Amino acid sequence: MADTILKDVHVDRENELKLFRSMVGGDGDSHILLIQAESGMGKTSLLGEFWRASRSSPRSHINLKRTTYSVEEILTQLVDDFGGSAAFPTYSRRLEQDFARAGDLTISGSRLRDVSVHQTVAGPDRELRQGVLTDALLQDLRDQPLGDAAVVIFDTYEEAGQEVKDWLSGRFLRLARTLRWLVIVIAGQRVPEPELGWDEWSLRQTLRPLDPEHVSEYLDRVELRLTPEQILVLYEATEGRPFDLATAVARIVARRMLPHE
C-alpha cells in the first residue's frame, strides 16, 4: 500500500502536464520544457506521468545522475532508443570514420563497446569529434523525422558532468531547437539557464510546494478521510512537499490497516 501511494502523487501538476501534452501534440512553437524542482517536490512522479503520456511516441529517458556519463554514451543511447544504427546512417558513418581510426574501439552496430575513446581522444579533438557526431545525429533526425512527435527526457541535470552540461545546454539544444517535433524535457534541482531567444522555443517551470487544498485533493484520491484540523496538521508537518506528504499518508494508511487488538 505504501509503495502504491508513493507512486500516485499527482496533484497541482496539471499545468506541467498540459504543457507537455501540448508540446507532444504540436501546438505552438515551444517544444523544450525545463523543469526545476528541489528534492521531494514530485519531479520523479511528474516525469513518470510524462513518460506514460508519450507511450505512443518514440521516446528516450536519460538519467544524468551518473557523473561519468559521457556525451558519446548519451548519443549512443539516443541512437539505440530511436531505432538503432540503421535509422541513423549519417551518424553511423561518422562514428566509423572518426572513431574506428583510434584503434582502441570495438564498434558493434551503433554501440561503443570500449570507453577507452575517452582516454585516447581528449581536449579540442574530443570536443570536435563530439560536435561532428552531434551534428550527424541531428542531421539524420532532420532527414528522417521519427513521426509526429518524439520525446527525450533528461533527468537529474544537476548531477551531470560539466562537459555534458555544456554540450546539452549548448550545441545540442541549439541544433535540436529547429526540430519542432522533437520534444525535450530537462529536469533537475538545477536546469540550464535560458539564453537570449530561448523563450521562442522553450518554457521553464518550477515545482512549488502544494497548497492546503491540494493536500485535501490528494487525500480524496487515496480515499483517506481526515478532519480539517488533521489535514492542517498534516500540511504543516510536511510543508506541502509531495514526497513527505506521500510518505506520511502511507504511514497513516498502513497503521489503519493493522488489525485492532
Q: Give CATH superfamily name and number for 12-206.
A: P-loop containing nucleotide triphosphate hydrolases (3.40.50.300)
3-state SS record for 189-234 = CCCCCCCCCHHHCEEEEECCCCCHHHHHHHHHHCCCCCCHHHHHHH
DSSP characters over 64-85: TTSTT--HHHHHHHHHHHTT-G
pTM: 0.77
Residue 104's pLDDT is: 47
> Which tens digits make up the pLDDT trace of 68-110?
789 999 999 999 999 999 999 999 999 888 755 655 444 444 4
Residue 191's pLDDT is: 94
Q: How far is CA 35 from CA 50, 63, 134, 155, 211, in A?
A: 12, 14, 24, 9, 19
With 60 as the cut, is the pLDDT of residue 19 above it? yes
The set of cell numbers assigned to 246 is 506521500
Mean pLDDT, the chain, as a whole number?
A: 83
Residue 157's pLDDT is: 96
> Which tens digits make up the pLDDT trace of 20-71?
999 999 998 899 999 998 888 788 889 999 999 999 999 999 999 877 789 9
3-state secondary structure of 18: helix
> Which tens digits make up the pLDDT trace of 206-232?
888 877 777 887 788 777 888 888 888
**9 confidence band (pLDDT: 50, 70, 90):** low
3-state SS record for 226-259 = CCHHHHHHHHHHHCCCHHHHHHHHHHHHHHHHCC
What are the extents of the domains in the chain? 12-206, 212-257
